[in-house]
Amino acid sequence: MLPLDNRFQFNGQSVAWGCIGQGDPLVMVHGFPWSSQAWRHIAPHLTDRRSVYYFDMIGCGQSEISEGQNVSAAVQNDLLATLLDHWSLDCPEMVAHDFGGLAALRGHYVNGLRYRRLTLIDAVAVLPSGSPFFAHVREHEEAFAQLPAYAHDALFRAYIQRAAHKNLREEAIEIYAQAYQGEIGQPAFYRQIAQSDTRYIEELQDQYGPMDCNVDIVWGEQDSFIPLNQGEQLAAVLGANSLTRVGNAGHILQEDAPEAIVAALLRA
């Protein structure tokens, strides 16, 4: 497990973060409903060359989860910008997955963040976005939040298993499920889905273009959440330096093929 030994206050909310290794800074941004522990099989392989920073987004993992919380995409890129300032990182290397990819892109186009290199992994970044399940939750958030615990647990397990191409280990399921259990955690899972408004992508797409840093994209060929053709589209509009297609892997590439991410990050 990655240690999250530090706490940072962001708009009155507690954010858990950690840093391991030495060398040039690399910041890892997870997606939803994951946490910084998604990088636990990746970050340790980079520590002889990088100072690896990671954190749990607001509403995720060990960071603050509370009733009525705003966990929208706009909040997460503001959190990223604030953390980079707190860490005194002006132009770090960035690797981001899923909604973390959206946070990193919004950080650049909205907050003016600069990156030495950007690696995007199965990122939420182009339209269409969302699924019938997301749409149904947005319409019936309260009903989902009040499901019996056993029904919620089964739904959560089915959801994250669908993100993987291989069978998730029980250890991984327990890591990700922990934050979304109980009276506070269960509603938080559906709240984040309900707040995943496509307008946060819409306002970016017209701004996309070649960035002032190397952009590398890594995508699971069997991603059933965000299909590979969206990764190809993103690579084209960003003028990516590379697009790595990973076979026998789905959306949660960190669990299906962590070695592919390590290899991509070590290619400099």
Per-residue pLDDT tens for 117-163?
999 999 999 999 988 899 899 999 999 999 999 999 999 999 999 99
Residue 173 belongs to a domain:
no
Residue 43 belongs to a domain:
yes
pTM of the predicted model, to two decimals? 0.97
Question: For the packed helices 149-163 and 170-177, what is the interaxial angle rounded to 10 degrees?
Answer: 120
Residues 6+ apart with CB under 8 A from 162: 224, 225
Could you tell me the CATH number of the domain that includes residue 79?
3.40.50.1820
Per-residue pLDDT tens for 4-26?
999 999 999 999 999 999 999 99
Contact criterion met (CB below 8 Å) for 83 and 106: no
Q: Check pLDDT > 70 for residue 86.
A: yes
Can you give the residue range of the structural domain that contains 261?
Answer: 6-130+197-266
Residue 93 belongs to a domain:
yes
Number of structural domains, the chain? 1
Dist. CA 243–CA 219, nearest whole Å? 8
Residue 251 belongs to a domain:
yes
pLDDT at position 3 is: 98
Amino acid sitting at position 206: D
135 vs 130, 140, 156, 194, 198, CA distance in Å? 7, 9, 16, 8, 11
Tokens at 74, concatenated:
């706009």
Residue 205 belongs to a domain:
yes
